[in-house]
Amino acid sequence: MANEEHLAILKQGMAAWSRWRERNPDHFPNLFQADLKGAELRSAALKWAHMSWADLRGACLVKADLSWSNLTGANLSRAVLTGADLTGANLAGADLSGADLRATQVIKADLSRANLTGANLEYAHWVEVNLWQGKLNHCRIHGLSSWDVKLEDAEQFDLTLTPPGEPVVTVDTVGMAQLVYLLLHDARLRSLVRVRSPKAAVIFGHFGKEGRREFLTAIKTAVRQAGCIPVLCDFGTHENQTSYERMDVLARLARFVVLDMTDPVNVPQEFAAIIDRLPATAVLPLLKRKSDLWSMYSHLSRHERVLEMREYDSIEELTNGLQNEWLPAAAEKTERLEG
């Protein structure tokens, strides 16, 4: 259990805690299994603290010094750690789901088996981090700096690499996110390197409206089950930000493209402008039944890369079609185009 004296001083506030740490530099705080739910620990000096299995749900740890601390199995769900120093920290098995980890310093830290589902990792700095068997699903990673990170057997799904306010681009691995971001923003790199992934399937569409997310999930799941990596460009409510260049870069990366034309706005028009520039890439158009079809689709459909339009009504119909016929047909079409 936690040292009652240490816990009492901590609960007096950061001024009292800082004075105690300065007067007792050789004392390592013992906060084992401490109940610190929602605690105000902004800029707390917690270096070398023993905080295994502590309950820190929703705690404020903004700019806290947690370097070399032991947070094994700690619950930091929804905690705010913006700008915190986690150098050398042991977070093995910790729950960081939904945590705000923006601009954190994470060097030589152990996050093996840690759950970071839904965490915000924007502008974090990772060097020599162990994330073996960790969970990195549904994280925001715009600006994440990642060097020598061990991700063996880690779950990595739906990582958002674009900042808020832009059409959402998601990928399934940190490495793919870094590559895609560089290709999207470095014109010189694009002129020097031609990258096409034999595993990438790029999904274009508008999935921001109510009820559309379930269909997007079904498309992504089917793509993964087909052995491919889904790369999503969801224009959502950002119709005016649809980017010709963005679509061009992502489509060139793909083995094949899934183009959902439900509520298309200007996506098909811009896609039609780039299709002649693509390599041997098949295009699978989808449409939710009873939706308005883009008026110029007939022009797009005449292109040799475009497969027959496939319509769906339910999640089950979409899933079965993709798994049993439509995605295999797209892969086969790409093989034929490659000659």
Contact predicate 335/299, CB 8 Å? no
pLDDT value at position 241? 46
Contact predicate 230/203, CB 8 Å? yes
Q: Would you state the CATH architecture of domain 168-338?
A: 3-Layer(aba) Sandwich (3.40)
Contact predicate 14/43, CB 8 Å? yes
Low-confidence ranges of the chain (pLDDT < 50): 239-241
CA distances from 50 to 3, 7, 97, 192, 232 (A): 10, 12, 21, 50, 41
Cα(286)–Cα(201) distance, integer angstroms:
14
Three-state DSSP state, 294: coil
> Per the confidence metrics, is the pTM higher than 0.85?
yes
DSSP state of 309: P
pLDDT value at position 186? 83
Contact predicate 271/285, CB 8 Å? no
pLDDT value at position 198? 85
Three-state DSSP state, 130: strand
pLDDT value at position 240? 46
DSSP state of 127: E
Encoded tokens for 32: 């084992």
Tell me the CATH class for 1-155.
Answer: mainly beta
Domain boundaries, the chain: 1-155, 168-338
Cα(67)–Cα(89) distance, integer angstroms:
5
Which residue, 51, 139, 134, 138, is CA-closest to 93?
Answer: 134
